[in-house]
Amino acid sequence: MLDDRTTAAAWPAAYPQGYAVVDVETTGLARDDRIVSAAVYRLDAQGNVEDHWYSLVNPERDPGPVWIHGLTSDMLEGAPLFGDIAREFAHRLDGRVLVAHNAVFDWSMIAREYARAEHVAPVRQRLCTIALSKELSLPLPNHKLESLAAHFGVVQRHAHNALDDARVLAEAFRPSLHTAAERGVRLPLLECRPLTEWSTAPSAPRIGRQASGSSYRPNGWRPARKRPPCPHPNPGRYEADKPLKQGMRVAFSGDTSVERELLEDRAVEAGLHVATSVSRLTSLLVTNDPDAPTSKTVRAKSYGTPIIDEAAFTQLLRDVAPAGE
């Protein structure tokens, strides 16, 4: 590994000159969902922490999955609106590569908030630490933040708190960056395209059925992928306010904001069984439109199968309990 004495001399010239490690907690994943807290750790070219910043944000609506992020309506009532923090947030991002775990999600939420506030986030590139860990072939059991942190010996103090998640990611990103520099790995940088227009009208219905100008691309047809069988036995149905368990059979219905294939990949990596249909053995149905008369939602309701939306499912994916617990 590159150490502090050799870093400056040996550092790849093509690497960025600074990073903004970001985490946002949100009310959900839909086009009209909002940020409820945001944190930024600014790092120099070698990944050393320069400073950090954190703020609660009043979402001007229901806070969503309180049981995940812990932020209630009372806690957020006196918090600043996103427009009030937009300039300070932008100052933290300016001229830096945005780094996040599943960066497309964080960037999408940030871009929409700036569009609502009639500002443009000064971000031109993003780097996803999931993609970087794959580039480095890190021996991780899955691509959860806690697994990346554990690989580098980083201790999580308060999971799902934006400031602590950003700290954990910053501490895990630095050794990842040094490993990439040592191996001469090209960083998986992607372009960030800010939204330039925004409609204040809420989406109705929610995700996947917006007008053509929405920031999400609807899921198109794709060929079926044959996945390896899930190695864990089915522990039964999902129970509200409890974690998912490895081996649970999860089915998806309707359009999703995050690409369906990515959601399914993340579910498989977490040890879940992705089912193509709903039966009495299905543990959970994920849909953003539970009232749609699709065969899966109709069957789920007839069997009493639990139904949750994409936002709740994405949050639950962060802490899937091992099989047998």
Strand partners, 252: 286
Range name among 55-59, 133-137, 214-218, 320-324 with the lowest pLDDT average: 214-218
pLDDT of residue 212: 28
Number of Cβ within 10 Å of residue 182's Cβ equals: 14
127 pairs with which residues across the strands?
99, 189
Q: In what order do the strands lie in the sheet with 273-275?
A: 273-275, 249-253, 284-287, 307-308
> What is d(CA 319, CA 325) in angstroms, rounded to the nearest whole number?
13
Report the pLDDT value the prediction gives residue 208, as an integer from 0 to 100. Answer: 28
Calculate ∠ Cα 158-161-166, nearest 5°.
Answer: 95
Q: Which of 102, 114, 118, 127 is nearest to 192 (CA)?
A: 127
Does the pLDDT value for residue 285 go beyond 50? yes
Instruction: State pLDDT tens for residues 84-97.
Output: 999 999 999 999 99
Ordered domains of the chain (ranges, CATH): 19-191 (3.30.420.10), 249-317 (3.40.50.10190)
From the CB of residue 223, how many other CB atoms can be counted at a distance below 10 Å? 4
